[in-house]
Amino acid sequence: MDYIGEENEMSNLVTFENADNESNILRIGGKSFLPPDMEWPTNPNGEKMVFIFNIPTNFLNSTLQFNYPKDQVISVFTTYNREDYFLDSIVYNGDTEELQNIKNGYTKVVLHSAAAPRNDADFLIPAREIVIDKEMNEFDDYNGSLFGANPVFLQEEKLELASYQFCMQIYGGDFPEEFQDIFYLDDAIGYLFLSKEEKANDVGVFFVQCT
């Protein structure tokens, strides 16, 4: 487990509260506000991906000093399958091929306007609000869910993430019980990095690590 980032910059711990599936707040699960003219993301296997994060741009701009358009939303989607092995499609431990696999579309980060709530996937994760809690202690040996500042990686080789800024990491076990295998293993962690510069074709990257 490795902690990276500027000295004295500490991430915030987060807690989770039950939320409405259609609320436009920082949350895991629920429905997406993806506009009707945007196709629901599918992975290279043709499988509809599962919606996992709703992140209002106003919240990102005020908390992490991004400069996104106001009143828009970032939606994050991932490959998920209850019958077939999929971990290798979403994991990134530093191998260039792993990162390319993810960028080929096994996970997806989308910036868009907020439309009527929808869910076109085969699964709907019950919504939980992500509540920003106290700042992490620099001496904490912690590898759970965090927001802002710096990630705590489970595997840290050489990750090609220089053009991205860390947003948050979410522990699989913090999802509702029936979806704690959303990252295949319930002790895996999903990491969200967002592009430092606004790019329509590269909003960010989402990947998973496990021990």
Q: Looking at the whole model, is its pTM more than 0.85?
A: yes
Report percent pLDDT > 90 for the chain: 77
In the predicted model, is pLDDT for residue 86 greater than 60?
yes
| Residue 141: pLDDT over 70 | no
**How does residue 138 score in pLDDT terms, banded at 50, 70 and 90?**
low
Contact present, 123 and 50 (Cβ < 8 Å): yes
Q: Is the pLDDT at 8 greater than 60, yes or no?
A: no
Task: Band the pLDDT of 136: cuts 50, 70, 90.
Answer: confident
Q: Which of 173, 195, 172, 194 is nearest to 183 (CA)?
A: 172
DSSP, collapsed to helix, strand or coil, labels residue 10 as coil
User: Does residue 2 register a pLDDT over 60?
Assistant: no
Q: Which residue has the tokens 């091929």?
A: 97
